[in-house]
Chains A and B, each alone.
Chain A
Amino acid sequence: MKARRAQNQHGRGARARRVLPGFGLTLGVTLGYLGVLVLLPLGALFLKASGMSWAEFTQAATNERALASYRVTFGSAWLAAGINAVMGTWMAWVLVRYRFPGRRLLDALVDFPFALPTAVGGLTLANLFASKGWLGRWLEPMGLKVAYAPAGIVVALVFIGLPFVVRSLQPVLEDIDREVEEAAATLGAGRLRTFAQVIFPVLLPSILTGFSLALARAIGEYGSVIFIAPKGSEIASQLIWYRLEEYDYAGAMAIAVVMLAASFVLLAGVNMAERWASRFQR
């Protein structure tokens, strides 16, 4: 934006001087890089899917089993990202606001789901929540079946999305001036009101950023879910895999295209909400 404006003002041959030039070069590399890594595979995907007729496409993309898998995928991703938003805010608050022994260790633990291969995470969770597992043996008698149940998918997705909200929120929380809370108190605001009306609106854009990252990650997750998901209620990625195993490439592509479009709309929606929430900064 700025670069363009500066060029318009000075016209050709009288460009604004900058300490670090190279807009052309850096943008060129960026476009090329994204082109190869993102646009090219996406284009291939659409090309493959476009080989089908419309009827074939709708049949492959909207049959009963495919629709069920979308519901599972987006439903559990949405729920998991929501849980992560709430608990991530909670954890970020504790990690930033309080000083206690072991804080740094706890802080490092948050990144653990990023470092662990997701398949290992899924296996571990499945074992924990299995009817003989450490947690499952207590939960199942209470009627809470997690492993090999829809709840298991949500648990796996919560696990892999854990760091996003915490990490996007920490810098913002650290940045909040204590004086602002004191100002609210001198004006008569109690703790709840201070949090809800003064602190939370500042955090909301970052919570939404973390939420959208966790959501995107959850929609695309495969490795951890396959170990804990129940038979008969599969996520879209699983269904795509089954289609590929059946050499039904076009069917797999059709589901992938739907997933792509839906993810795009969903993330665009969250981003718009985020823009709205951060309107005070513009």
Chain B
Amino acid sequence: MSIELRDVSKRFGPVAAVDRVSFKVDDGELVALLGPSGGGKTTVLRMIAGLEDPTAGDILVRGERVNDVPVQRRNIGFVFQGYALFKTMSVADNIAFGLKIKKWPAGDRAARVEELLRLFGLEGLGRRFPHQLSGGQRQRVAIARALAPRPSVLLLDEPFGAVDAKIRQELRDWLVRMHDELSVTTVFVTHDQEEAMEVASRIVIFSRGRLEQVGRPRVVYEEPANEFVARFIGVLNVLELRVEGGVARLDELTFPAHGVPEGQGLRIGFRPYAVQVSRNPREHRYRATLRHVYFLGVLMRLELETPSGLVVRSRITKDEFTRLGLAEGDVVSFQVREYRVLARDGEPLGPEVSAMHHAGTLGEGI
């Protein structure tokens, strides 16, 4: 079922935890609410569930206003961060809890519990108590319990926060598969942008109670609506430059001034993958020392330090790293292929600009 928020605000005393937020989740979508902690995303999720009343604005499920519908009758499945399993009940009783309330006949109930145990890889664990399960299993019991009464919407609060890295990856894949199979409208909260990018079909980004951008993962990554989104999604090198003599400059790094008047400040950002590194100290425009190499798996993160002490992060593949034959302490050259002028929060950003032709005009040997 579709969910829609219209100008929803939530105040706790003088603090606006959520400030005039509007967005829509279509039927069957898998959407992430993403933002730093305290950004208001959990409050939004709780308002959709009916665990929190909005101070202003409307919440619609399937086009109908549900503000006054109590949580018990909203027919949502909610998965809590700490799972919130009923510890005095067995796994099977946990899953059957919602079914008993909805007065399913005993036979249907048992069949549904069996079905969910199978679907969630929990066969044979029905008689266990929650404390006898691993973290990942508890998580799945919590989701199974929420899904048992066939809710119209599944809401998950930081579903992968409390498990270790390996299980987290499994759970992510599993959530995507489960969503594909059941196609129930799903909204989950996360502060991990990687998780949101990987799992969600669309991302709703919050900061300080405000909605910053809604879009597909690729869109928010490539076309961030503002500086906050650009900095929050992925890694970004950010430089504060000043316009002098027609170019924006910070120590030895220069960028075109883009019509910014002389003497004014300009903030630009560029992704680490846009930093091209060469072992030949003369190949690219800027010279730097390779201070540290971080091994990230397939990717390597390089920390470059210019003679004036600026630190620039670069990301290259392991293969390229090997091909270049780099080592810590090497003197290298680098250039910035693509960058973005970061406007102030709320202002739209220009598209990413290719810096290659500028490099050419400045007389570097390409």
A183 touches B87 (CB 8 A): no
- B51: which A residues are within 8 A, CB to CB? 182, 185-186
Q: Are the C-beta atoms of A187 and B98 separated by less than 8 Å?
A: yes
CB of A202 within 8 A of CB of B87, answer: yes
* Chain A 190-231 near chain B by CB (<8 Å), digits 1 or 0: 100100011001100000000000000000000000000000
Give how many B residues have a beta carbon under 8 Å from the other chain's beta carbons: 28
The answer to whether B84 and A180 touch across the interface, beta carbons within 8 angstroms, is yes
Q: Which residues of A contact B72 (CB under 8 A)?
A: 185-186, 188-190
> Is B78 part of the contact surface with A, judged by Cβ < 8 Å?
yes
B49 on interface, CB distance cutoff 8 Å: yes
Instruction: From A186, A190, A198, give the contact of B86 (CB < 8 A).
Output: A198
CB distance from B50 to the nearest CB of A (A): 8
Judge whether A188 and B88 touch: CB under 8 Å.
Answer: no
B101 and A186 form a contact (CB under 8 A): no
Query: Can you name the residue of chain B whose Cβ is closest to the Cβ of A205?
Result: B88
Contacts of A197 in B (CB 8 A): 86, 97
Determine if B149 and A182 form an interchain contact, defined as CB atoms under 8 angstroms apart.
no
Instruction: Specify the main secondary structure of chain A where it touches its partner.
Output: helix
Complex CA distance for A107 and B102, rounded to whole angstroms: 40
Kindly report which residue of chain A lies nearest to residue B76, judged by CB atoms.
Answer: A186
B81 contacts across to A, CB distance below 8 A: 179
**Alpha-carbon separation in the docked complex, A252 to B73 (Å):** 65
Residues in B with CB closer than 8 Å to A183 are 78, 80, 84-86, 145
CA distance A198 to B98 in the complex (A): 12
Cβ of B39 within 8 Å of any chain A Cβ, yes or no, is no
Instruction: With A202-B87, A281-B131 as known contacts, state yes or no: A188 contacts B101, CB within 8 Å.
Output: yes
Interface residues of A in 108-142 (CB under 8 A from B): none
Contact between A182 and B73 (Cβ–Cβ < 8 Å)?
no
Contact, CB under 8 Å: B82 / A179: yes
Which residues of the other chain, B, contact A185 by a CB distance below 8 angstroms? 51, 71-72
Q: Which residues of A contact B145 (CB under 8 A)?
A: 183, 187
- The reply to whether the CB of B60 lies closer than 8 angstroms to some CB of chain A is no
B88 to chain A minimum Cβ distance, whole angstroms, is 4
Q: Closest residue of chain A to B79, judged by CB?
A: A183
B269 at the interface (CB under 8 A from A): no
Return the CB mask of B65-99 against A: 1 if under 8 Å, else 0: 00000011110111011101111110000000110
Known: A177-B84, A202-B87, A202-B88. A186 touches B78 (CB 8 A): yes
A170 to B51, alpha carbons, bound, how many Å? Answer: 26
Q: B73's closest neighbor in chain A, by CB? A: A188
- The verdict on A258 contacting chain B, using a C-beta distance below 8 Å, is no
Q: How many angstroms from the CA of A180 to the CA of B80 in the assembled complex? A: 9
Query: Which residue of chain B has its CB nearest to the CB of A186?
Result: B78
* Nearest Cβ on chain B to A249's Cβ, whole angstroms: 50
Question: Which residues on the A side are within 8 Å of B74 (C-beta)?
Answer: 186
Nearest B residue to A187 by beta-carbon distance?
B98
- Output the least CB separation between A274 and chain B (Å): 14
Bitwise interface map of B from 25 to 49 toward A, beta carbon under 8 Å scored 1, else 0: 0000000000000000000000001
Which one of A182, A187, A201 has the highest number of Cβ atoms from chain B below 10 Å of its Cβ?
A187
In the complex where A202-B88, A280-B129 touch, is A184 in contact with B97 (Cβ < 8 A)? yes
5 A-B residue pairs with CB within 8 Å:
A186-B74, A189-B97, A198-B88, A280-B129, A281-B87
Q: What is B's interface to A at a CB cutoff of 8 Å? A: 49-51, 71-74, 76-78, 80-82, 84-89, 97-98, 101-102, 129, 131, 145-146, 149
Q: Which residues of A contact B (CB under 8 A)?
A: 177, 179-180, 182-190, 193, 197-198, 201-202, 280-281
Task: List 17 other contacts, CB 8 Å, given A183-B85, A186-B77.
Answer: A179-B81, A180-B84, A182-B84, A185-B51, A185-B72, A186-B71, A186-B74, A186-B76, A186-B146, A187-B98, A188-B98, A188-B102, A190-B72, A197-B97, A198-B86, A201-B88, A202-B87
